[in-house]
Structure formats: structure tokens, C-alpha cells
Amino acid sequence: MREIIKMIVVLSLIAATTGAALSYINQVTAKPIAAAEFQYLKEPALKSILPAYDNNLVEDQRIIQIGEGETAREITVYPAKKDGKLLAIAFETFAGSFGGDLGAMVGYDLETKRLSGVSITTMSDTPGLGTRTKEPKFIDQFKNVPLEVTLSLKADGGGIDAVTGASISSRAVCKAVNDAIGIIRDNGEKIISEVK
């Protein structure tokens, strides 16, 4: 009996020490990981879809609650400002794709009231097929799109040319962009007022 108690105490101490060490390491590495994610994934995407800006997107980013009840969620909005004037906003949306979730950074120009562009931030699709949705030939179809449309592939009766051999990935991009358009339509005024 004494051996069992001794073993339980030793295993409990090991588990508690390991848990505390993992918690500490997580706290120490969380900020550097977030900074690297922004620098290598999000910042290049934002630079490609937003007009010229002079503000610090990291400092000016805002987490905004949208929706209500079960549909409520948070989005991180990046405001692009020039000389203190808000020019555009961008945020990331996700959709299920062939290899998992696909992340799309979507920009919205406040002056033209149209999408300023889309850039793929994360995807796990087949290299050489699904990943070709990142190429300008496909992704440039989402520039200057008004909010009044619902985007879909030509095969589905819409106006977007799919990437050959990657219709699932192409549909995922359309779905992520349509989600962003819906967010702007339904919450645009709230988002803009909170990031000004």
C-alpha cells in the first residue's frame, strides 16, 4: 500500500512540474510566435491588398465582436490609414478546403466601397494544384468587387474562373471571400466606427 501511495505522489509531482513548465514555455513563446505569424503570413498579405498606408497595423489592429448568440465571433481588423485618415480595412476569413481550412485576408476600400483585394494566408492543399489559388491569375479576380455580389465559380453559374484541377480550393476561396463580404455588409459601420 505504501508503495502505491509513494508512486502516486511521485507521478503527481512529475505531472505538476511538467504542466507548470509547459504553461511557462507557452507564456514566454506566445508573443514571439504571434509576431512571427504576423511578419511572415499576415503582413505580406496585407501589403498586397491594402492601399499605401503609414500606420502600424499591429498597434492599430482591433479585435471586434460580430454577430449575436450562436453566430457571434471575433475578427481581427487591420485598419490602413494615411495621415490619420482611414482608407481601408482588412481581416481574415476561413473556409473548408481540400486539405483543411483555407485562410483568406480580404481588404475593403472605404472610398470605392469595393474589395481592394484578397490574399491567401494559410492553406494545406495539394502543392501544384490547390496552392495555385494563390497565383495572381486566380486571386486578381477578386479585386475591385462590389459588396452587392455573391461570388461563385463559372461552373456554378458565377463569374470566377476556377484553377484547373483545384475546384474545391477555388470554391473555398469564393466561400471565404463571400463570408468577408457578408461581414462587411452586416457589420461594416460598426467595424469602421471601432477602428477609426
pLDDT of the residue at 95:
94
Q: Is residue 81 part of a domain?
A: yes
pLDDT of the residue at 88:
96
pLDDT of the residue at 127:
86
pLDDT of the residue at 22:
94
Q: Is residue 20 part of a domain?
A: no
- CA separation for the pair 184, 146 (Å, rounded): 11
Which of 99, 89, 112 lies closest to 172 in space, CA to CA? 99
Q: Is residue 13 part of a domain?
A: no
How far does the chain reach from its first CA to its final CA, in angstroms?
67
Q: What CA–CA distances, in Å, run from 183 to 43, 66, 95, 121?
A: 21, 8, 14, 18
Taking the chain (196 residues) in consecutive chunks of 10 residues, what is each chunk's mean pLDDT?
90 94 93 84 91 91 92 94 95 92 95 96 86 93 94 94 92 96 94 92
pLDDT of the residue at 24:
93
pLDDT of the residue at 40:
86
Q: Is residue 24 part of a domain?
A: no
Q: Is residue 15 part of a domain?
A: no
Exposed e or buried b per residue across 139-171, where buried means at least 16 C-beta atoms within 10 angstroms of its C-beta: bebbeebeeeeebbbeeeeeebebbeebbbbbb
Domain membership of residue 102 as a residue range: 47-195
pLDDT of the residue at 71:
86
Q: What CA–CA distances, in Å, run from 180 to 4, 5, 54, 78, 196?
A: 57, 57, 24, 13, 19
And the C-alpha cell for 29? 513563446
pLDDT of the residue at 2:
86
**Contacts of residue 86, Cβ cutoff 8 Å, sequence gap at least 6:** 79, 80, 110, 192, 195, 196
pLDDT of the residue at 94:
94
Q: Is residue 3 part of a domain?
A: no
And the C-alpha cell for 137? 491569375
pLDDT of the residue at 35:
81
Dihedrals φ, ψ of 143, to 5°? Answer: -80, 145
Q: Is residue 159 part of a domain?
A: yes
Which of 164, 94, 151, 160 lies closest to 123 in space, CA to CA? 94
Residue 195 C-beta-side C-alpha neighbours within 13 Å: 32
Domains: count for the chain: 1
pLDDT of the residue at 151:
95
Q: Is residue 146 part of a domain?
A: yes
